[in-house]
Structure 1
Amino acid sequence: MNLPPAPIRWRPVAIPFLVAVLVLATISPSIAIYCDEDDCYDLLGVTQSANASEIKKAYYKLSLKYHPDKNPDPESRKLFVKIANAYEILKDEATREQYDYAIAHPEEVFYNTARYYRAYYGHKTDPRAVLVGLLLILSGFQYLNQSTRYNQAVAMVKKTPAYKNRLKALELERSGGNTNKKKSQKNADKKIVEDLSNELELQITGAEKPSLWKLLGVRFVLLPYTLGKMLLWTGCWFWRYKVKKCAYSLEDASYLTRRSLGIPDDRWRNIDEATKEDLVLRRLWEKSNLERYVAEMRKESKRRR
């Protein structure tokens, strides 16, 4: 069963463009989109083989003759506009190359027209500016998200009984066991509570305090420095522990232990020193020691159940 062809639906945006193309095609398709019915080279009085210096010299010579400030004749003004347009096209290597291609291939009307409009009316925003703007926007959202999560987490912690008890204990410790409830001390008490609250605001796992150094934009700017520092650190590590076979320092042994256990840096800092020292002495970066430690932890977990 043969179906009738579907009707063609013209988009409103495409209609002006097609009309312009049809109008230009009735004139001289190759050059009309650049210098109307004229030839850009003829307007400047140069040949197609002229170099950039000759084109520039011809333009300045004609501008002295037809510039509105030099020649008040209205026809000279119109001619100068055409000359200036021709110079704008031919002075740039990219647009001149497109114009030369249009002259050599007059049958490719649609292709030449699309190149012309893309070159002169296309979006010309610098990609670097777009990248900087994108990084700023993402960094702003990142900081806002981190700040919101941190403030919500701190607010929840402050509502817990453990936090309130710790706050009271710290206040008693500062006041020597005496609490003054006089009205004259009301402002001072608020200041003490605020100071104590700031002291008790610990880093919360999963909702760390926002930091400018952790923002995406700052990290991108510091990327060359970060890569250089990482390469230098890797080289020193290889020389010290692979070539010279030195014993691991406490800091490097802690790093190896933390990496073997998969513990983030912020959680590692919150572990008490005795536990850290015990973990480091176990040399968990060695596979056999790590497997033994994991087996012990599993047994301990089953025993507690």
Structure 2
Amino acid sequence: MDVFFGFLIACECNCVQLKVDNTGSGGGSDPGCYLIGAGEPRAPPPSPPPSTLHLQRGGLMMVSPALRSLSSPPFLFFCCLLLLQLPICRSIYCDEDDCYDLLGVSQSANASEIKKAYYKLSLKHHPDKNPDPESRKLFVKIANAYEILKDEATREQYDYAIAHPEEVFYNTARYYHAYYGHKTDPRAVLVGLLLVVSALQYLNQWTRYTQAVTMVKKTPAYKNRLKALELERSGGVTNKKKGLKQIDKNVEEKLSNELELHIQGAEKPSLWNLIGVQFVLLPYTLGKIKKLPYSWDDACYLTRSCLKITSDAWRNIDESTKSNLVQKRLWVKRNMDSYVAEMRKESKRRR
């Protein structure tokens, strides 16, 4: 349990990075940000780590201070469900009773003694012998205890669960595998698992994205870009009463729709990125990867994947730069190492 709670605490420390493309009005920069030119990007401040937001109407790149993301509510909800299952996991065999006590035998009893004890109790509590409702309930428990202890494999699992009550999830998995594993179609389990995981993945990505967008819209860089865009739309004429300090809500919403937000580390959810969809397309993906030479689209995908560039950011790169990067075959480790070394030398030379 200590390891489990430690894992939860570690998940609280996750963060997303934020980076903003912005030209700004007047070429100025906001107090909490720094500008990067068209050359090799400088390293961001060591703490906190940045997250990336692109506003698709700028030529310079403005990197805002890092934003720490909150833990995803779907993930915490899933963890709470696991914690609620802990008391249930402890009573999966004979509820709150001890299987040996129900049969009136010791843990060292052999199979013959267990069988005799069961037949003796069944004569007393069987519904055909005793119509008492309480006796009927007790007989159900006795029969269940006998089913567990008469089989050597399930008895060994039960003895292990008694000796190691702290291994809740392991004991629960062994129990359900023994009683329901042979009755379950593995294909149905796989499909169900992929659907559940994909749903949780989509919900988690959407929550992270909306949280990041909300936090980004509160930054000075984003607000200044909205003001600059309003000036551009109005031809430089603004409301003198409001000035640039306040933007009408309807205008702000329209302008926000024109600024595409691409947040690295919290991208907008896509069905094509879900685990279930990727699993279904796995044979097709493997077949395409094995084919040589790669098509232009495949080579572009491999190149931007190696450089960790989003598809939208890749589309904004000029064709000559794309062609140059693709020809380097950066998906080959040796070529990628050479490219990184070359970029480092170029960065030092510019300094």
Shorter-chain TM band = 0.3 to 0.5
Normalising to structure 1: TM-score of the pair? 0.48
Choose 1 or 2 for highest CA Rg: 1
Specify which structure has the bigger relative contact order, considering alpha-carbon pairs within 8 angstroms and separated by 6 or more residues.
2
Normalising to structure 2: TM-score of the pair? 0.43
- If each structure's strand is expressed as a fraction of its own residues, which one has the higher value? 2
